[in-house]
Amino acid sequence: MPEIYLIDVTNRDGVQTAKLGLSKLEKTMINIYLNDMGVFQSEFGFPTTRHEINYLKANLELVEMGVLKHIRLGGWIRAIIEDVETTFQLIPDIKHLNLSISTSDQMINGKFQGRRKRHDIIKDMTEAVDAARAHGAESIGVNAEDASRTDINYLLEFGLAAREHGADRLRYCDTLGYDNPFTIYDNGRILAEKVALPIELHCHNDLGMAVANSISGAMGVIDGGQDAYINTTINGIGERAGNADLIAVILAATKSKETATRYPLGGSIKLKLASKIAKFAEYAFKVDIPINQPGVGANAFAHSSGIHADGVLKDPENYELYSYEELGRGDPIKVETGREIIAGQYSGTAGFGHVMGKLEVSFKNREEANEILELVRYANVESQKPLVEEELKFIARYPEIAKKLLTLTPLT
Ligand SMILES: [Zn+2]
């Protein structure tokens, strides 16, 4: 039976959001959290962007080292041969790629201004797929940008050409959030039936339907006989009004009426880590989780009116579809209200020793402590905010990887 899998694109669509960004260490922590949660793939960055090179290579090393055990790391590039060549020149060990190109007449005419026609788009894409395969890519997803505004017959032609050239998945991008749950169900189903490839649903939230569209599109794909891959971002962070929120998608797939039995979520997703990953993204992006965010918002389990409070106290199921414990909530958070020593870019050994001692991290000798402190200083320079405990522990545990993440050398 086909299933739903998750491809999180926080480290690609999330970070390309206007006014927002993440340090390379923060992106790495997100890959680790996604791995721990059981997410199928992280779209971990941009292989043709020079400042990503050290980060991408370091994360591929974490895969080799077994730190990132189950998750796949996929790069995002344009579906043109030049991008494929540059990718394998810069990141020879990359295994998974998504190749993206616009398919709607609006974008073909509006972006390429008459320089490319429909058949050129298919030619560019198939050449890129061939090149990626020739370079040894293990999995190739082909992205149809603006698929929801693309003539369905052309989209089918595009998808079939992708399959013929050995693509593993087709990404249906509702780039502008134009679909509704009914239209995306139909398109998902037609693509699954006729192209006969697993289909990715990439939904934006411009009309407030990103999560509903993702689930409905996935239902169409599964009814069409193929696996569905929903693209998510943590806290729904993404271009303009954002993408489908990771936690809301998991909740919708597992808790909504009659969904889980007919459209099962594949792999083993650890919802217990939901609160942790959402809080980290909130801190790293410096964007508050909305108070009413499903599952992880401050009010997601808050009750005040008489009838609701009385009802939920008698039996939580009266007014809660799922329990806060399932999302890893309920533990008290320790907030320092007295003296605080923080490790930052100008920290010295005494303060740093104190901070790491509290985390029960010890060092072999003074040299090692100094080396880790130096890395922590650089990480703080990059992120411009105090590192969280798990970032400090990561640096102490994998200093060589941290060194690579923190090395940004502009071309001369
Ligand atoms: Zn997008």
- 2-19: pLDDT as tens digits: 999 999 999 999 898 888
Ligand 1 center to 238 CA (angstroms): 7
Residue 229 DSSP SS3:
strand
Question: Can you give the pLDDT at residue 412?
Answer: 65
Ligand 1 center to 267 CA (angstroms): 24
Ligand 1 center to 173 CA (angstroms): 7
Specify the higher pLDDT residue, 353 or 392: 392
Ligand 1 center to 159 CA (angstroms): 19
Ligand 1 center to 331 CA (angstroms): 34
Instruction: Give the strand pairing for 139-145 and 169-174.
Output: parallel
Ligand 1 center to 201 CA (angstroms): 10
pLDDT band at 346 (very low <50, low <70, confident <90, very high): confident
Across 254-259, average pLDDT? 97
- Give the number of other CB atoms < 10 A from CB of residue 120: 13
Specify the higher pLDDT residue, 308 or 147: 147
Ligand 1 center to 258 CA (angstroms): 28
Across 270-294, average pLDDT? 97
Measured in degrees and rounded to the nearest 5, phi and psi for residue 33 equal -65, -40
pLDDT reading at 411 higher than 80: no
Share of the chain above pLDDT 90, in %: 83
Ligand 1 center to 248 CA (angstroms): 17
Ligand 1 center to 233 CA (angstroms): 10
pLDDT digit string, tens, across residues 110-133: 988 888 899 999 999 999 999 999
CA atoms of 212 and 222, how far apart (whole Å)? 15
Residue 8 DSSP SS3:
strand
Categorise residue 31: left if φ over 0, alpha if ψ from -120 to 50, beta otherwise. alpha
Ligand 1 center to 99 CA (angstroms): 13
Ligand 1 center to 314 CA (angstroms): 43
Average pLDDT of the chain is 95
Ligand 1 center to 175 CA (angstroms): 6
Ligand 1 center to 202 CA (angstroms): 6
pLDDT band at 238 (very low <50, low <70, confident <90, very high): very high
Nearest to 47 by CA among 92, 101, 15: 92
Ligand 1 center to 177 CA (angstroms): 9
Ligand 1 center to 239 CA (angstroms): 7
Ligand 1 center to 208 CA (angstroms): 14
Ligand 1 center to 184 CA (angstroms): 16
Ligand 1 center to 176 CA (angstroms): 8
Across 89-106, average pLDDT? 96
CA atoms of 53 and 51, how far apart (whole Å)? 6
pLDDT reading at 223 higher than 80: yes
Residue 171's contacts (CB-CB under 8 Å, 6 or more residues apart) are 98, 100, 141, 142, 143, 144, 147, 199, 200, 202, 229, 231
CA atoms of 150 and 155, how far apart (whole Å)? 6
Ligand 1 center to 14 CA (angstroms): 8
* Window from 20-24, 26-30, 100-104, 111-115 with minimum mean pLDDT: 111-115
Ligand 1 center to 318 CA (angstroms): 37
